[in-house]
Amino acid sequence: MREPVELRRQRILAVVESRGAVKVSALAEELAVSVVTVRRDVEELARAGRLRRGHGVARPVRDPAGPPALPAPRGGDPAADGGAVALVVPERHSYLYETLHGARTVLEESGIRIALYLAPQSADAERPLVERALADGARGLLIAPRWRSVLSEELDYGWLADAGVPTVLMERRPRPGSTLHALDSVCSDHWYGTHLAVEHLVSLGHRRIVLAARDDSPTARTVRAAFAEIAAAHPDVEDWTVVLSSPDAVPGPGPSGVGSVPAVPSGSGGGAPDLDLAALLRERGATAAVLHGDVDALMLVQRLAESGVQVPRDCSVVAYDDVVAALGSTPLTAVSPPRAEIGRAAAQLLLHRLSGAAGALGPVRRTQVLPELKVRGSAQAITPVTPTMN
């Protein structure tokens, strides 16, 4: 799917603000688009006053200040020894870039030097970055591993548990009972976010609901499992099903509901189908859909329109994630996880561990922050059908 322009520009801003001056050619390579496209984006962002541009370079509006003068060592001051905190997030991941910026704000306000590492999309990408950060003297670690599959997640447990410095997971919750179960973490409560989506649609009279979701991240897997649990137990939901939302959503076994179809149809060879959501809605008699993530949601809503299905007239939609949901021609009602707040809370927890203050070595903390529902009008109440008189 072609990335929306505004999302690409948000990614450009995130890179420039985190690194300072960046060559346009480097941005083009990282975003996998042409130099001409990036140059046009940079010109528009500069015109809007969101960054500055020079000869082949994009710069933040304000040049990053040098490392602040650190105070003399004293008890309870996490900035006292001057070591950096390593921030590790996946590249090309606008959702987690907002988490990164929330963490960055807290750390910079505390006088902490930040070392940012962007993990490429290849398998096992985070481990060498963390090892490099530790070799360079990082004294703390904030990390949001990609974890595209359950297997890749479990393979990371051992070395992360042995990092040897205070570590906080951001927007990740390890499997219960695993070696990382007792690691500090700050995460959105995605079960609650899914609950908000289903309850909103049910309150509008919808009884037959489809979830089209990804299967390539811990968030996606949690949303899928939560939807299955909530829909199956809800007395007002008559029919539900879970399908993959896009061809590049990593396939995997998905839960199914009353008379539902498999998440990956038999005979597909294990590849994710190019979802025909309009056909599925007709087949199920569904009047509503929850779509994760919101870039896929915008694309699926466009495809619905091309098939003659109008949102919200013919199908009510709630997107999950809220990075670009409001930018569609039909602004989408969306579950909005508190991305920046996750980063802030994770950084505050790490500072607490680094402070040496009383209780800094206390019990492990697993914090969940509740998402919100942003209502924008892509879901509406079902109009009762009035019986005709003979």
Higher-scoring residue by pLDDT: 135, 285:
285
The amino acid occupying position 336 is S
3-state secondary structure of 190: helix
Stretch 154-171: mean pLDDT: 87
For the entire predicted model, the pTM comes to 0.72
pLDDT at 150 over 60: yes
Residues 84-91, mean pLDDT to the nearest whole number = 88
Please state whether 90 falls in left (phi above 0), alpha (psi between -120 and 50) or beta: beta
Mean pLDDT of the region 160-186? 86
- H or E element, residue 59: strand 57-59
State the average pLDDT for the chain: 82
What is residue 285's predicted lDDT score, i.e. its pLDDT?
96
Q: For residues 135 and 123, give the distance between their C-alpha atoms in angstroms, rounded to a whole number.
A: 21
| Strand ordering across the sheet containing 114-119 | 114-119, 85-90, 140-143, 167-170, 185-188, 366-369
What per-residue confidence (pLDDT) applies to 82? 56
Element spanning 366, H or E: strand 366-369
Cβ contacts of 274-278, under 8 Å, gap ≥ 24: 274/246, 274/247, 275/212, 275/243, 275/244, 275/245, 275/246, 275/300, 276/303, 276/307, 277/210, 277/212, 277/303, 277/304, 277/309, 278/303, 278/304, 278/307, 278/308, 278/309
In the chain, % of residues over pLDDT 90:
36
The pLDDT of residue 388: 54
Q: Is the peptide bond before 293 cis (omega within 30 degrees of 0)?
A: yes
Question: Going along 120-238, which residue ranges are E strands?
Answer: 140-143, 167-170, 185-188, 208-213
Compute the distance between CA of residue 162 and CA of residue 165 in angstroms, rounded to an integer. 8
d(CA 315, CA 326): 17
Top pLDDT among 148 and 117 is at 117
User: What tokens were used for 390?
Assistant: 């003979």
30-51: pLDDT as tens digits = 888 888 888 888 888 888 888 8
Q: Give residues with Cβ within 8 angstroms of 380, minimum separation 6.
A: 204, 312, 313, 316
3-state secondary structure of 127: helix
Query: Taking the C-alpha atoms of 57, 61, 63 and 65 in order, what is their torsion angle to the nearest 10 degrees?
Result: -150
Using the predicted structure, report yes or no on whether residue 317 has a pLDDT greater than 70: yes
How does DSSP classify residue 146? -
At 81 the pLDDT is 53
| Four-point Cα dihedral 232, 234, 237, 238, nearest 10 | 60
3-state class (DSSP) for residue 233: helix
Q: Is the pLDDT assigned to residue 269 strictly greater than 90? A: no
β pairing state of 208-213 and 288-292: parallel
For the ranges 11-15, 47-51, 204-208, 217-221, the maximum mean pLDDT occurs at 204-208
Lowest mean pLDDT among 55-64, 99-108, 109-118, 325-334: 55-64
**Helix (H), strand (E) at residue 100:** helix 94-109
Q: Which residue has the tokens 């019986």?
A: 387
Q: What's the half-sphere exposure (Cβ side, CA atoms, 13 Å) at 265?
A: 8
Q: At 240, is the pLDDT very low, low, confident or very high (cuts 50, 70, 90)?
A: very high
Question: Which pLDDT belongs to residue 254?
Answer: 40
pLDDT at residue 262 is higher than 50: no
